[in-house]
Amino acid sequence: MDVLERIGEQVRSNPVVIYMKGTPQFPQCGFSMRAAQALQQCEVPFAYVNVLQDPEIFEHLPRFADWPTFPQIYIDGELVGGCDITLELHASGELKTMMEQAVAKADDA
């Protein structure tokens, strides 16, 4: 499977997924750490992909949605953005709502 197809499958099959450097438990950069913490504080399950463990994804993910940096957060198959946007959504309460709606939609499918 082509790497962009693999990324597409991950994005489609997970209601919420973060592509980050490291893991939520052991982040490898400050931006990934802050974004993952915001997701965790919403108390809604999410998937993650450690881009440092998969050089193909690390290299090609910026092409997938034309977003050059990490982390990248996808909710309901759509790119939400990176760290700053995620933190803004979390501060406003929108992030939790978006995550809950995406998980509920996936559960109904």
Binding-site sequence positions for [2Fe-2S] cluster? 29
For the CA atoms of 10, 8, 70, 51, the dihedral, rounded to the nearest 10 degrees, stands at 50
The dihedral region occupied by 81, where left means phi > 0, alpha psi between -120 and 50, and beta the remainder, is left
Find residue 79's DSSP bridge partners: 74
**Strand 47-50 relative to strand 72-75: parallel, antiparallel, unpaired?**
unpaired
Binding residues: 29
